[in-house]
Amino acid sequence: MVVVGMTEISAFNSSQGPCRCPDASILRRNLILSPKLARRIPWLLTSAVSLLALGFVYRRGVDINWDMRNYHYFFGYSLIHWRFDTDIAPAGISSFYNPIPLAIFYLVLSSLKFPAYAWIIAAVQLSSLPVLVLICREIDRELGHETPSPAGCLALGLCVAAPLWWSELGTTFYSSTTAPLVLLGVLFGLRGVRMASNAQPARLHFALAGGAMGFAAGLKLTNGPFAVSLTLALAIVMFPLRARIAARYLCSYVMGLAAGFAPTSWWNVFLFKHWGNPVFPYYNSIFRSPYYPAVNFRNPQFIFHSLSEFVNFLIAATRDTHEIAEVDFADARMLMFAVLTVFVVAACVWKRLSSGKVTFGSSLTGVTAAFLWFFQ
């Protein structure tokens, strides 16, 4: 008997006598369809991307980005030597960002030489990849796939094709450095929803999701929208459950948010005591600090004023744009996502109307789909 993957091919047939062993094409097909190999494909992909990324960081050379020269390195030094009572906003509005990540960059850059420090920073940023694999597996399971599906592998491939993420690898830009925390929040949130929908205890997972999101938001203020979005997503997808259960798990998530944010909150207390606004200078129409106009700061460069302007941006982004970044870049994935979203939503609506089932959240798949929709 020949065993290939999960397929058993008998060397003898009771009615036809001996049969030939499968040819090479059948063996290759069964090998490709092997569940063990299918489970390894995402890990092999991310391992290859990691090696490629380390080589890319080395070949690009020493990072001399403007933000590092303007405030990344200096504010790391300022925290280590506590210069905040001496130097008053030396880098303008950038002087009020939480300096904890910058202190880590300062210590690494001042202690090591290139490429060692760049590879250490890149390794932290590349830790997003295994979390992405686990998120894809979680979604595949919700959709009934015991092994990674082609769609899941394609989604993972599109994730690692992010041009801005590649441009930040090995640098002191810390959107990518704090991204693993945001992704961990999504992963624990997904698992919590699945377990709660199956009547399994899920408090720990929701608390961990909140902790990861809270810590990410504390380290970098622009991660705050992810924490708020995940809160709204959890509130929506817990709707099919009993209100008491939903409230209990949401409380666990909010408590996790507070616990995750707490280690970084000293900086917000410092800003409030010295500048009259815990997120100075943002949202100053609320906090009314005397050191900044009583307005909510917004950069008009990154605002869409109409739907047509947004659509034009999606099209322009496939070639070259600087609408949502300070440097020109091209990223066709946003247009792909927008188009696919329209088709997926239309297909789901058509399927539900055709089947006569219009109850929201009637299945775990529906709950997960809603979770992802609102989080995006």
Say what the pLDDT of residue 284 is.
92
Residue with tokens 């906090």: 287
Q: Token digits for 51?
A: 């090696």
Q: Name the average pLDDT for the chain.
A: 82
151-155, 252-256, 350-354, 369-373: range with lowest mean pLDDT: 369-373
- Neighbouring CB atoms inside 10 A of 101's CB total 20
Q: Token digits for 187?
A: 């992963």
Residue with tokens 């990861």: 212
DSSP readout, 197-215? HTT---HHHHHHHHHHHHH
Distance (Å) of CA 35 to CA 5, 32, 360: 7, 8, 33
Average pLDDT on 91-117 reads: 92
Cα–Cα distance measured from residue 166 to residue 176, given in angstroms and rounded to the nearest whole number: 9
Say what the pLDDT of residue 361 is.
42
pLDDT in tens, 154-166: 888 888 888 889 9
CB 302 within 8 A of CB 323: yes
Say what the pLDDT of residue 24 is.
56
Residues with Cβ within 8 Å of 170's Cβ and at least 6 positions away in sequence, in order, are 57, 60, 63, 115, 118, 119, 121, 122, 125
Q: Is 75 helix (H, G, I), strand (E, B) or coil?
A: helix
DSSP readout, 297-341? ---GGG---SHHHHHHHHHHTTT-B-SSSSS-B--THHHHHHHHH
Q: Report whether pLDDT(321) > 80.
A: no
Q: Report whether pLDDT(171) > 80.
A: yes
Q: Token digits for 206?
A: 């929701």
Alpha-carbon dihedral 306, 308, 312, 313, rounded to 10 degrees: 30
pLDDT in tens, 41-68: 889 999 999 999 999 999 999 988 888 8
Q: Where are the domains of the chain?
A: 1-33
CB 259 within 8 A of CB 214: yes
Of residues 24 and 138, more confidence is placed in 138
Average pLDDT on 122-139 reads: 93
Average pLDDT on 26-40 reads: 62
Cα–Cα distance measured from residue 321 to residue 53, given in angstroms and rounded to the nearest whole number: 24
Cα–Cα distance measured from residue 68 to residue 140, given in angstroms and rounded to the nearest whole number: 40
**CA 267, chain centre distance (Å):** 25
At position 127, the amino acid (one-letter code) is S
Q: Report whether pLDDT(28) > 80.
A: no
Residues with Cβ within 8 Å of 91's Cβ and at least 6 positions away in sequence, in order, are 70, 71, 74, 75
pLDDT in tens, 62-89: 988 888 888 999 999 999 999 988 888 8
Q: Is 68 helix (H, G, I), strand (E, B) or coil?
A: helix
Average pLDDT on 85-108 reads: 91
Cα–Cα distance measured from residue 250 to residue 133, given in angstroms and rounded to the nearest whole number: 26
Closest CA to 182 of 230, 249, 139, 121: 230
Q: Token digits for 52?
A: 């490629």
CB 96 within 8 A of CB 89: yes
Average pLDDT on 132-138 reads: 91
Distance (Å) of CA 133 to CA 37, 156, 344: 15, 7, 22
Tell me the residue ranges of DSSP E strands in the chain. Answer: 2-4, 7-9, 12-13, 17-18
Q: How would you classify residue 18: left for phi > 0, otherwise alpha for psi between -120 and 50, otherwise beta?
A: beta
Q: Token digits for 350?
A: 């058509």
**CA 72, chain centre distance (Å):** 23
Cα–Cα distance measured from residue 196 to residue 248, given in angstroms and rounded to the nearest whole number: 11
Q: Token digits for 375?
A: 């989080």
